[in-house]
C-alpha cells in the first residue's frame, strides 16, 4: 500500500484477498507499531557519528554543520474537519512534515502533524528540535532556507549583498541533500505523494512509519546512488520566501551568519 501511488484499498485488498475493513486495521496497526520504533531508528547522532557528519560537510564546503532542515507537504484528500487550515499555499490539502537529515541523507529528526497552511518557521518554533537546539548542537549548527529564523545554531539563506549571494550559492549546494532525502522518501513510499488515509493520528503514524522504513532501508544505498541522475527526478527549488519580522532570528545568529558569509567571500 505504501509503495504504490495509485493503489486503492480495494486494489490491495483484492491482491491479498483481504477485506477492506481488515486492510484498514492492518495498515493502522503496522503503522503504529513502526511509528513507535522512532526513538531507536530516528536518532540524533552520537559523538562518533557527529565527527563523521562534520567531516563530510566540511569536505563539501561547510564547517561545523550537523544537519540540514526543511519541510515538505504530504497531500491528503479533502478533510472532514477544519479543511481551511489544511489548505496550503500550493492550493491543495496537506500535512506538514519537518525533517532534518545528515550528510548521508539519513533522517535524524522528524516532526509531523501541523496543517499544510502553517509556515515552515512556525512549525519549527513549535518543534521539539527548536527547544533542544542548543543542547543538541553545542557550538555547531544546522542549515536551511530563508523560511526559518536565523539562530546561533541555525543558518538560513537570504540574499542582501554580493557576499551573501556567494554564501547562498554555497549553502544551496549543501542544502540539496534534504531535497534528495524527501525525493527518495516519496519515491520509495509513493503513497506520500497523495495519501489516501483518513484521521490525523493515523496519517501521522503512517508518515512516521515510512520515515522509519526509509532509514532502515537506506543504510547501504548512499554509495550506490547516482545523485546527478537522481536530480533529474527531484526538482530543487530555491525560492525565496517572504520573511516576517519574527523569522529574522536572534542577533547572535545573524552576526554569526554574516561572519560565515564574509569568511567564504574573502576566502
pTM (two decimals): 0.83
The confidence score (pLDDT) of residue 250 equals 65
Average of pLDDT values for 67-86?
Answer: 90
Is 148 or 6 the better-scoring residue by pLDDT? 148
Residue-wise pLDDT for 153-201, tens only, equals: 545 555 557 777 777 777 777 888 999 999 999 999 999 999 989 899 9
Least confident of 14-28, 76-90, 218-232, 234-248: 234-248
Residue 152, pLDDT score: 61
- Please, is 171 exposed, middle or buried when counting C-beta atoms within 10 Å of its C-beta (0-12, 13-18, 19+)? buried
Cell of 132: 533542544
pLDDT score at 225? 54
Question: What's the mean pLDDT in 117-135?
Answer: 92
Report the chain's mean pLDDT, rounded to a whole number: 83
State how far the alpha carbon of 146 is from the alpha carbons of 42, 121, 150, 231, in Å. 25, 9, 8, 22
Mean pLDDT of 97-125: 94
Q: Where are the beta strands (DSSP E) in 200-249?
A: none
Does 220 have pLDDT greater than 90?
Answer: no
Q: Considering only CA atoms, which of 135, 114, 149, 113 is closest in space to residue 44?
A: 135
| Residue 170: per-residue pLDDT | 76
The CA-to-CA distance between both ends of the chain, in Å, stands at 51
- Model confidence pLDDT, tens digit, residues 222-247: 555 554 545 544 444 443 344 443 45
Cell of 85: 487550515
DSSP annotation of 161 reads: S
Which helix H or strand E contains 210, and what residues bound it?
helix 200-217
The secondary structure of 78-132, three-state, reads CCCCCHHHHECCCCCEEEEEEEEECCCCCEEEEEEEEECCCCHHHHHHCCHHHHC
d(CA 34, CA 199) in angstroms, rounded, equals 18
Yes or no: say if 246 and 216 are a contact pair by the CB < 8 Å rule: no
- Of the two residues 78 and 233, the one the predictor is more confident about is 78
Percentage of the residues of the chain whose pLDDT score is greater than 70: 78
Amino acid at each position: 500500500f505504501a509503495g504504490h501511488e495509485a493503489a486503492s484499498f480495494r486494489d490491495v485488498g483484492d491482491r491479498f484477498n483481504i477485506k477492506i475493513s481488515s486492510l484498514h486495521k492492518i495498515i493502522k496497526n503496522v503503522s503504529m507499531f513502526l511509528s513507535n520504533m522512532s526513538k531507536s531508528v530516528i536518532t540524533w547522532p552520537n559523538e562518533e557519528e557527529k565527527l563523521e557528519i562534520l567531516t563530510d560537510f566540511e569536505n563539501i564546503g561547510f564547517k561545523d554543520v550537523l544537519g540540514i532542515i526543511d519541510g515538505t507537504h504530504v497531500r491528503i484528500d479533502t478533510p472532514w474537519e477544519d479543511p481551511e487550515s489544511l489548505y496550503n499555499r500550493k492550493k491543495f490539502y496537506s500535512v506538514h512534515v519537518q525533517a532534518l537529515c545528515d550528510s548521508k541523507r539519513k533522517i535524524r529528526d522528524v516532526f509531523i502533524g501541523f496543517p499544510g497552511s502553517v509556515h515552515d518557521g512556525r512549525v519549527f518554533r513549535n518543534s521539539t528540535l527548536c527547544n533542544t537546539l542548543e543542547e543538541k548542537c553545542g557550538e555547531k549548527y544546522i542549515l536551511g532556507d530563508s523560511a526559518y529564523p536565523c539562530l546561533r545554531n541555525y543558518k538560513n539563506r537570504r540574499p542582501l549583498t554580493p557576499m551573501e549571494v556567494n554564501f547562498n550559492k554555497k549553502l544551496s549546494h549543501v542544502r540539496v541533500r534534504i531535497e534528495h532525502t524527501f525525493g527518495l522518501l516519496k519515491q520509495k513510499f509513493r503513497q506520500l505523494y497523495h495519501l489516501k488515509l483518513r484521521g490525523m493520528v493515523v496519517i501521522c503514524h503512517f508518515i512516521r512509519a515510512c520515515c522509519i522504513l526509509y532509514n532502515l532501508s537506506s543504510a547501504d544505498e548512499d554509495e550506490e546512488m547516482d545523485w546527478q541522475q537522481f536530480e533529474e527526478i527531484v526538482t530543487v527549488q530555491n525560492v525565496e520566501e517572504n520573511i516576517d519580522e519574527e523569522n529574522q532570528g536572534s542577533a547572535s545568529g545573524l552576526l554569526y551568519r554574516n561572519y560565515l558569509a564574509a569568511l567564504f567571500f574573502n576566502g
